[in-house]
Amino acid sequence: MAPQKDGHPGIGQLRKAGRVTEILFLYEAATHTHNRLQPMADALGVSVQAASFLYRELSRRGLVHSVDGAYRPTVAGIAFLHASLNEIRDDLEERLAHLNIIRRCKAEAATNIHGGEIVTLMMEEGMLKARPGKMGESIGRASHEARSGELVEVVDLEGIVPLTPAKILCVVFPLSSLDSSSLSGRLATILEKEPFGLLAAEGLEAYHLLRHATREPITRFGVAAAAREASQVGVPVIIVASGNVLPVLLHNLSERAPELPVEVRYVASPEEATKPRHRKVG
């Protein structure tokens, strides 16, 4: 049983009267053994009467029952607990992702900067850079002099560095076309036309193909995590993968907030398709 959609998803659901105590009751019942309501009430910081009311209410909804004299969540209760905690976690992570607040940091000087000079922070191709003047949403003061290209420490920061996620393009090929002589050429054409700052291969077959299609560096390990991190700081990503690993790849790309722009593009040999197919994800 998932949490009821009452207009308060995520941490907003905690505003509903009694919801926090319900979740804590189920968690306590799932992780500790309580044969009486008094220790349960003590653990929750409520009265025995309140604990008794909670048990009756959760029991009525089929979320908790008594097993060998101990209070235990039902299968539905465990599902409700997991769904509630996961929803709160995901909502909290998404909110935090929008609060990339930096109070003191180092950035690359985009031009020569004087010590004490007011600078603006901005993300350019995945690199945090500082430029003299007030021209953006996040400003601070350079703590020392720095020449263009050097690192400079910026203090007294105000505002938030705006981050615009870049596209993650998943180029997918069928394993049946792995030996096609034209497949590497098709991949090379895509790499020539599509901008990217990170190129990755999901699986041995994809890496084998990319090695014949480009001389660019290829990321082979931790592909989803690397792609998510790059996209979040504005670096466009291309991932080459076979169709059989695509579902897992898409799951790993989308399992955590924030939601990122992901596009899936299919390529095949001329014998299998006359033109590429496109599918937007998200």
Residue 271 CA from chain centroid, whole number: 38
Local confidence band at 101 (pLDDT 50, 70, 90 cut-offs): low
Q: Which domains does the chain possess?
A: 10-97 (1.10.10.10), 105-158 (no CATH), 168-281 (3.40.1010)
Query: What is the tens place of the pLDDT at every residue in 154-210?
Result: 999 988 888 889 999 999 999 888 877 788 889 999 999 999 999 999 999 999 999
Determine the average pLDDT of the residues in 72-101. Answer: 84
What are 270-281's pLDDT values in tens digits?
444 444 444 455
- Cβ count within 10 A of residue 252: 16
**pLDDT, position 271:** 47
pLDDT at 105 over 60: yes
Token output for 236: 């466009």
pLDDT-based confidence at residue 143 (cuts at 50, 70, 90): very high
Over residues 2-6, mean pLDDT: 48
Nearest Cα neighbor of 227 from 209, 254, 206, 205 is: 254
Q: For residue 74, what pLDDT is reported? A: 95
Tell me the per-residue pLDDT of 14-47, one tens digit each, with 9 for 90 and over: 667 678 889 999 999 999 999 999 999 999 999 9
Residue 108 — pLDDT band, cuts 50, 70, 90? Answer: very high
pLDDT of residue 33: 92
Q: What is the mean pLDDT of residues 258-281?
A: 66
